[in-house]
Structure 1
């Protein structure tokens, strides 16, 4: 029994951020269920990283908003989020996962807030957008998915990046919503952060299956409208193909020896042949 408990504790220690974060999300969601919709609406309004809260100096929402999820049934998204975070923590380690998650969540939030503030200032959007609710884990989750670039085999890495950026951009254009744009920014931030990560990866069938499930979850977060669900896969596939071909072309050019310049050839002159 002690050996079994020790093994479980050791495994949980490898995914301590995932366990802690998911436990908090579960506790908050259960509290909303018990307290009712009135408390839910109040907390969402207070925790939202919208222009109203940020302009009033409520910077705590930059972290608190990641603890309040308002995205459909808990039994659907929580297992997939757990799968994604656990996979990233196993490959990238805890500190790197935390960095990627926070950079994506806070960075995408600030970029979206700046864009909304400029749009309101120039009259492109109504002032009511300043109080729009903006909570959840989606920015951090998609940044984590982008950071998984470091774990993808180098041969397929360009296609992976090309797919997610193209699919995210298409979703942002078709969805025409600030959260869709934030999702794309979060993916890009995750990819950029992954350039600082380097970790040898040994993929097993179980880990590969976790990657498939995590990718499916990430795609649903990106393309959560019927129109984007149809267009994003096509755009993503084209983006993956283009990125893969560009990477192959650059690799082929880099492997070719540099041609000798004509002036160098003239200076070198004919080479003597040494008799054996």
Structure 2
């Protein structure tokens, strides 16, 4: 019994140190369960209304930018549970909930607008069909890619360069082989995360100051 209580205490402390990540995972669990029980036709319409495509970004940008980050498009919740624990949890503990959330939000929004903007350019010049304004773009992967990028600054040298190189190669190869607007979005999100160096540097300086006192 004592061992069980100790395990529960450890699990509770683990969750408390990254509350934003686990609230987000809980929301995704509920929404994923709900969407899976919709009829195929209603599921398609439901997700299309929350998609950050060109049409929706023009009409209801705030609603779809928030809504698209609360649903998974065909991905396994358990997979994202693992990925969130590998990347979001350490990032939130390191940066703090609000700065971590800021990096995730900037990556999500920035990558969405850049990828959809390039898609719009492609439509205007005839490289992609006009129907692409309604293409489905939903999920949490841009935010995840951005957090993976900023975590580069959390890793000590010389492993920092190796980690950053691997992240860029992973998303860079996907961009080269896929060449889709979501591949552009993921690579852009990583670059946005890497551009959040001032946030990481501020946190490192603050951490050093605390230890000096």
Instruction: Tell me the TM-score normalised to structure 2 length.
Output: 0.84
Q: What whole-Å deviation, never above 9, does each CA across 1:161-199 have from its counterpart, x for those lacking one?
A: 233223322321211111011110011111111342134
Q: Equivalences for 1:161-176 in 2 at 5 Å?
A: 161-176=164-179
Measure, in 2, the Cα distance between the counterparts of 1:60 and 1:146.
Answer: 26
Listed as ranges, the matches of 1:64-83 within 5 Å are: 64-83=67-86
Is the 1:148–1:194 Cα contact (8 Å) retained in structure 2?
no
Q: How many residues align?
A: 199
SS of 2:200 mapped into structure 1:
coil
Structure 2 equivalent of residue 37 of structure 1: 40
Mapped to 1, the partners of 2:78 and 2:12 lie a distance apart of 25
**1:27 equivalent in structure 2:** 30
Which structure 1 residue ranges, 5 or more long, are not aligned?
A: 201-276
Note the C-alpha offset of 1:155. 2.7
Which of the numbers 105, 108, 119 marks the counterpart of 2:108? 105
Instruction: Say whether residues 1:132 and 2:135 are aligned partners.
Output: yes
Q: CA deviation at 1:103?
A: 0.9
Deviation at 1:7, TM superposition (A): 6.1
Please state whether the residue corresponding to 2:199 is helix, strand or coil.
coil
Cα distance between partner residues in 1 of 2:83 and 2:173: 23
| Structure 1 match to 2:148 | 145
Matched, 1:53 2:56: yes
Aligned: 1:12 with 2:22: no
Greater share of helix residues, 1 or 2? 2
Bigger Cα Rg:
1
Q: Is the Cα–Cα contact under 8 Å of residues 22 and 82 in structure 1 kept in the other structure? A: no
Q: Which residue of the partner structure matches residue 159 of structure 2?
A: 156
Alignment CA distance shift 1:79-1:8 (3 Å): closer
Please point out which of 144, 165, 190 is paired with 2:193: 190
* 1:90-120 superposed Cα distances (whole Å, 9 cap, x missing partner): 2222122101110111110010111111111
1:108-143, Cα deviation, whole Å (9 max, x unpaired): 001011111111111121111111100001000011
TM-score normalized with structure 1 length:
0.66
Contact residue 108 and residue 139 of structure 1 kept, 8 A: yes
Shift of 1:17: 0.3
Alpha carbons 1:66, 1:136 under 8 Å: kept: yes
